Amino acid sequence: MHDFKFKNGELCCEQVKVSDVAAQVGTPFYLYSHHTLVDHFTKIEQAFAPVRPLICFAMKANDNLAVLKTMANLGAGFDVVSGGELKKALRINADPAKIVFASVGKTEEEIVAAIQAGILLFNVESLPELEEIHRIAQQLNRRPQVALRINPDVKALTHTKITTGTLKNKFGIDMRTARKILKSSARYPHIQLSGLHVHIGSQITTRAPFIKALTRVLEFLEVLRQDGIRLEYLDIGGGMGIIYKDEQPQTAKDLAGAILPYLQKTGLKIIMEPGRFIVGNAGILVSRVLYLKDNGFKKFLIVDAGMNDLIRPALYDAYHEIVPVVVTPRRKVKMDIVGPICESGDFFAKDRLFPVLKKGDLVAVMSAGAYGYVMASNYNVRGRSPEIMVKGSAFEITKQRETFEDLMRTETLPTFLAG
C-alpha cells in the first residue's frame, strides 16, 4: 500500500528515518515516497492494460514538481484545472498532447494558453464555455479538440463536498443538452467535438457508482451512434478511493475487472484521471509536539502543524491516522490533536486514543499526499511547510519552507499611507 513502515520502532520512508529528515529540515514538513508513487501508478497501468488508457495524473491532488516529474517519467499525462497547473506541467516538459483541461470556469487567458500549448483535449463543462473556446480558437486560427463533460446524475456515495456527478452539482452538461450540442457540431467549425468526459466524484470506495455511470454512458453512446455521431475519446475521470481508516476500497485490479467490459464495449480511446489513488498514501505530514494541555475536562496535544498545513479534517471532518514517529511504551489517553491556529476548527483528530507524548516528540499524519500541501494557506501569517521526496536511501527538499520575507515580497503599503 505504501512505503512508510516502522523499523526498530522508528517510522521510515523507504530507507530513510523520518526523524533524520526532521533533524535536517525542521517541522512541520511534507514527505513523499517516490517508490509508492511508482507502485500505485503501475498498479493502474497494469490493471487497465487491455484498453491501454492514457493515464492523466490529476494535478489538483498534488502539484509538487518532483511528483509531476515522477509521473511524466512513467509516461503519464496530466489532468489540469487551471492555467497555473498547465504551466507547472509544461515546466517539467510534460507532453502537451497528453494534457486534458477541465474546470467549470476557464478564463480567456487560460483557454488561449492551452490552445497555444497544443493540449490533447478541453473537457468542456457548459455550452457558454464551448462557445467561448470556439470564439477564441477562431481568433487563433486553430481547431482544438473538445470532450463534453456529461453529468450522468449518479450519486457517488462519498462526501457531499467531493461528489460531482449529480445535477445538483455545478459540474458537467446534462445528456439532453450534450446531445443537442453534438448534433449541431456544424455550428462549431473551429473545434473538434471528439469525445465525452465523465467524473462523478472523489474517494469512491465501491464499484457500483462507476458501473452505473458507465451504463448510462453506453446508453448515451448508442443514442449518438443512431444520430450518426462518431467520437474518438472517453475520459472516465478519476475518483478511486484509498484507505484512510478502515475503508475497504476496491483495488485497481478489482475495479478494472468490473468496468473493463464496459470500456471495451465503447470502442473508444480511454483516458483516466487518477490523483488521490496514486499520491494519497504516498505522502505524510510530519509535526512536532509543542504542549500537552489538560483543562480538567479534556486533553489536547498541541503540535506545530495547523489547519493551514492540512485543512482536510476541518473542511471535510476527514479522518487521518496519526502515529508517533518513534514508538516507545507509553500509556494512551483520549485527547484532541490540534494545531496552533486561532480557530476551533484547527484540529487533526478529536477524542483520539493516543500515546501521551512530550514536548519535542514527532508525530506523522498519514495519507496526506493528496489535497494536503495543494490546499495549504498562509493563514495567521504562517509560511507553508517544505516538501521533501525520498527515493531509496536519499532525500531532497523539493520545495523550500516559506519565510516571512517570502510572504511579504508582494505586499506593499499604498502611497497615501506611506510614512
Answer whether 215's CB lies under 8 Å from 264's CB: no
What's the rounded Cα separation, in Å, for the pair 201 and 210? 10
Supply 313's cell numbers. Answer: 479534517
Of 12, 13, 56, 342, which one is the catalytic site residue? 342
Q: Within a domain: residue 416?
A: no
The answer to whether the bond into 28 is cis (omega within 30° of 0) is yes
Residues 105 and 26 in one domain: no
* Domain enclosing residue 345, as ranges: 4-31+280-408
Average pLDDT over all residues of the chain: 93
From 279, 259, 285, select the one nearest 363 (Cα to Cα): 285
For the chain, how many structural domains are there in total?
A: 2
Rounded (to 5) percent helix, strand, coil in the chain: 35, 25, 40
Q: Which three cell numbers stand for residue 260?
A: 473493463
Average pLDDT over residues 79-108: 97
Q: Examine the domain organization and report whether 167 and 147 are in the same domain.
A: yes
Are 203 and 139 within one domain? yes
Q: What is the mean pLDDT of residues 212-220?
A: 91
State which of 252, 277, 302 marks the end of a domain: 277
Let me know: does 240 contact 276? Beta carbons within 8 Å.
Answer: yes
Q: Are residues 193 and 74 in the same domain?
A: yes
255, 277, 299 — which closes off a domain? 277
CATH number of the domain that 272 lies in? 3.20.20.10
Q: Are residues 123 and 249 in the same domain?
A: yes
The rounded percent of the chain whose pLDDT value lies above 90 is 84
Q: Mind listing the pLDDT tens digit for each residue in 153-201?
A: 765 454 454 444 344 565 678 889 999 999 999 999 999 999 999 988 7
Active-site residue flag, 342: yes
Is residue 417, in this structure, part of any structural domain at all?
A: no
- 293 and 219 co-located in one domain: no
Lowest mean pLDDT among 26-35, 176-185, 246-255: 246-255
What CATH number is attached to the domain comprising 362? 2.40.37.10
Are 254 and 136 within one domain? yes
In a domain, 71, yes or no: yes
Residue 129, domain member (yes or no): yes
For residues 241 and 352, membership in a common domain is answered with: no
Which of 277, 295, 318 is the last residue before a domain boundary?
Answer: 277
73: confidence class by pLDDT, cuts 50, 70, 90: very high
- Give the model's pLDDT for residue 171: 65
